Amino acid sequence: MINPVFEIGRLCKKYGKLLFVDCVSAAAGEHIDVVQNNIAVCTSVGGKCLGAFPGSAYVCARKDVLDHLTADQCKSVYLSLYKHYQCAITSRQTPNTPNVTLFWSLNFALTNVLEEETLEGRIARYQRCASIIRNGLRSLGLRMLLDEHLSNTVTSVFLPEGVDAGASIAAMEEKGYTFYLGKGDYAKHGMIQIANMGEIYEQDCHAMLEAFRLTLADMAKA
């Protein structure tokens, strides 16, 4: 779901609080305006919507927040934001030997999003794919967790009564598609999650829906 970041950011500004936002499934998939939304710090990863190799992560933060970091605030040896920031501004380096292949992949993915497909184009593609998936799921008689405030990249849907979520996920895995079990108590009620991130296009969504239709039909016969 899309969280009310603008409204939360306005409250944070009113009461003098810093707003930290988890953008792992949103960066390059949703419109994120860190200035308008009063976001002090947001984090994301190279995989998911950006489409780089999994394993890299990054932080986007206001300079005044970074300038006020102190060494004693960051207890981690390798994930100290203070160390990373100090190395970046003094030597344009990382405090430890970086995984260069992940950096290369992240740079390539950013170039693809910003200069080739464009950010607007990437978001629009995700919106089209999400619409295809949701319309297809509804045509199969399935119920979505939410009817509004839906993200462009993840769809949570309930399986038909009596269909085992684990078995359906395994069956789709055999067909080349990865679904995820719903979070928390929703998993007990047969909810799964379907993501459309990375190099996924409209034709891929149609093919996935047909494979899912056949899977549900086979499971209904069992």
Check whether residue 18 and residue 92 sit in a common domain.
yes
pTM (global) more than 0.85: yes
- The last residue of a domain, from among 99, 117, 135: 117
SS3 category, 23: coil
Range in 77-81, 85-89, 182-186, 216-220 the model is least confident about: 182-186
- Chain centroid to CA 103: 19
- The last residue of a domain, from among 76, 99, 117: 117
Check whether residue 92 and residue 194 sit in a common domain.
no
Domain limits for position 62 = 5-117
79 HSE (CA, 13 A, CB side): 7
Residue 222 is predicted with a pLDDT of 67
Check whether residue 22 and residue 106 sit in a common domain.
yes
Token match 């979070």: residue?
A: 183
Check whether residue 10 and residue 110 sit in a common domain.
yes
Check whether residue 110 and residue 20 sit in a common domain.
yes
Helix (H) or strand (E) holding 195: strand 191-195
Check whether residue 210 and residue 125 sit in a common domain.
yes
Mean pLDDT, residues 74-88 taken together? 90
SS3 category, 182: coil
Torsion of CA 25, 28, 34, 36, to 10 degrees: -110
Rounded Cα distance, 123 and 92, in Å: 31
Residue 77 is predicted with a pLDDT of 83
Token pair for 157: 């849907």
pLDDT at 36 exceeding the cut of 70:
yes
Check whether residue 106 and residue 127 sit in a common domain.
no
How many distinct structural domains can be found in the chain? Answer: 2
Check whether residue 113 and residue 148 sit in a common domain.
no
- The last residue of a domain, from among 97, 117, 137: 117
Mean pLDDT, residues 37-47 taken together? 96
Q: In CATH, what number is assigned to the domain containing residue 75?
A: 3.40.640.10
Residue count (the chain): 222
